[in-house]
Structure 1
Amino acid sequence: MIDVRRMQVLRAVVTSGSVTAAAAHLGYTPSAVSQQVAALEKECDIALLERVGRGIRPTAAGRLLTEHAAIISQHVAAAETALADLRAGRTGRLTIRYVASVGPTLLAPAIARLRREYGDVTIEPKLANPNDPLLDVEQGSADLAIVVRRTSDESRQGIRVMPLLDDAYQVVLPIGHPLGGRRMVDLINLAGERWVGSEPPGPCLEAITDACAAAGFSPDFVATSEDYATAQGFVAAGLGISLIPRLGLGTRHPGVTIRPVRRPEPVRTIYAAVREISLDQAALRTLVDALVDAAKA
């Protein structure tokens, strides 16, 4: 294998016209430069320099390696510039995984801020893997994930998980329901109701069932939905009541009444997850800060 550093020494000799001049430019001794060229010739098994009078000139092989050394030097310089731009957040790509309900309220304003500050960064938001929302971040196919986690969930090596906000569930009632006249609804008052499920199995559903268990009952699910809008439609149609988090109620069905819940209040906690090693990227740090600010707002 040809030593790239020795190729650059050869290039210095050829472009400067002598071993002595190359040594002065490189900060080496002439002997060290000669040794590097000799070692390169041994690697290539061909002469790279020839003497002409008191000077030297490259052989055909020497000219070939010198040309390639120049190309390598250009690519290295371009790589260094690109890397500096990436570290500073001027270019690059950020892939985001998120749960659907945080898109309008958290992700949209955060991305808008990132675009204002780092307009050349390509942003790729995609829905998170429902079975393992941290997997893409862990494997490196995503830079950041916005996920719902239990406080008891185990940490993963190399992944930093940062809480963004607690998203409380509210009860969604059909228009005219007797509980709709109350300012707040105690969870126990929903014990005898038929329920419309709004969450798939996982930490979001567990926030609901755990709160119901604390109130002394298990919800009677008579229907389930794939999304919050459909759950509201089922409630409006009279199939039952539902609990939906605040972030999932950005668009409200005209046929429902929504009230806060207490004693206890079911809450899901939303986190941002990134790889520890990625936090030295300026654009990613800005995105995390923007998510925190959006959560506060």
Structure 2
Amino acid sequence: MLDPHRLTVFRAVVASGGVQAAADNLGMTSSAVSQHLAALQRETGLVLFERAGRGIVPTEAALVLDAQSDDAMSEWSRLDRVVGDLRDGRSGRLSIGYFASAGSAWMPTLVRRLSAEYPDLVLELVLNEVGQRGRLPDIDLVIDPPDTPPPHGHRRVDLTEDPFVAVLHRDHPLAGRPSVALTDLRGETWISNDLPRSVGHRILVAACAAVGLRPRFSVQAQDHHTAIGFVAAGVGVSVMPGLAARSLPASVVRVPIDPPAPVRHLAAVVRQLGASTAPAERAVQLLQDLIAHPSGLRGRTLGR
């Protein structure tokens, strides 16, 4: 069985480019680092480094081992944190994956309430819009069609639908309308507000294609906060989920989109945790209450 500490030392050498640099970063002596590398090579039966001048370089086998050990080291680190929590008397840990607009709209209030009710609970919040590796969070907020099956060992809790809205400068000719059609924005300078391969961007592009519209994205903002800033400066218009357009500067307005408007389906994918499910179940309840009463959760105490 591979020694996790030796793997940590090995990965530090690969990342830093040399034994001495890894030793300095790890607070070890260079001879101790070399001993760990030699022991790991004996354990694996692999040649992991080759001489190059006065230093060493990783072999192809070392690069593969380094890349493939990411998930295992992440899980070991998680297990190490669990042991630390148990040693310090903390009752448990709950990880929640979220996307950006949910992070700004829901997470601060959710964390405040959950921490108040479970003061010994360790919360881990993970932005899930980048590629996830290893173990999924205990609760993963996702943007998926309603019929999307959850991963094995999880259940899906549908939370809400999130229609897209047009975000316009207040001086825009369409800003005073009660609603607009996507085709009303033909010829406008569009500002993207999400990553090109994200679910939300694909939903928007598909909705535009359905009405014969091909948006001209002249500004690649790729996040809604920056996109709103461009709109406020009068650069162009943006079409984004309503959840992302909750807080707008005075110079910007949001206008509903006529049917068929693009819409995101938001859900929580919840790990079946076994006997200790109370914090996870409570987190889902708080989310549902926050969505149903977005203006009331901050100012009142919720019963369990």
Is TM (by shorter chain) over 0.5? yes
Separation in 1 of the partners of 2:264 and 2:102? 12
Paired residue secondary structure (1:183): coil
Query: Are the structure 2 counterparts of residues 216 and 176 from structure 1 closer, same or farther at C-alpha, using a change threshold of 3 Å?
Result: same
Separation in 2 of the partners of 1:185 and 1:153? 30
Separation in 1 of the partners of 2:92 and 2:214? 49
Structure with the largest fraction of helix: 1
Separation in 1 of the partners of 2:274 and 2:227? 38
The letter of the residue matching 2:258 is R
Query: Are the structure 2 counterparts of residues 120 and 261 from structure 1 closer, same or farther at C-alpha, using a change threshold of 3 Å?
Result: same
RMSD: 2.4
Residue aligning to 2:211: 215
Q: How many residues align?
A: 206
1:154 shift after superposition: 5.0
Find out whether 1:184 has 2:160 as its counterpart: no
Residue aligning to 1:232: 228
Residue aligning to 2:144: 149
Percent of aligned positions with the same letter in both sequences? 33
Query: Are the structure 2 counterparts of residues 258 and 98 from structure 1 closer, same or farther at C-alpha, using a change threshold of 3 Å?
Result: same
Separation in 2 of the partners of 1:195 and 1:279? 49
Residue aligning to 1:267: 263
Length-normalised TM-score, structure 1: 0.63
Residue aligning to 2:279: 283
Query: Are the structure 2 counterparts of residues 291 and 186 from structure 1 closer, same or farther at C-alpha, using a change threshold of 3 Å?
Result: same
Separation in 1 of the partners of 2:220 and 2:250? 20
1:224 shift after superposition: 1.1
Residue aligning to 2:191: 196
Conserved in 2, the CA contact under 8 Å of 1:174 and 1:255? yes
Instruction: Please identify the structure whose Cα radius of gyration is greater.
Output: 1
Conserved in 2, the CA contact under 8 Å of 1:98 and 1:128? yes
Paired residue secondary structure (1:295): helix
Separation in 1 of the partners of 2:209 and 2:222? 24
Residue aligning to 1:15: none
Residue aligning to 1:120: 120
Q: Deviations over 1:173-218 (max 9, x none)?
A: 1232111121111222112222111111221112211221222212
Q: Deviations over 1:13-71 (max 9, x none)?
A: xxxxxxxxxxxxxxxxxxxxxxxxxxxxxxxxxxxxxxxxxxxxxxxxxxxxxxxxxxx
Separation in 2 of the partners of 1:129 and 1:146? 10
Find out whether 1:164 has 2:144 as its counterpart: no
Structure 1: stretches of 5+ with no match in the other structure: 1-78
1:1-297 paired onto structure 2 within 5 Å: 91-132=91-132, 139=135, 142-151=137-146, 153=148, 155-200=150-195, 201-278=197-274, 280-297=276-293
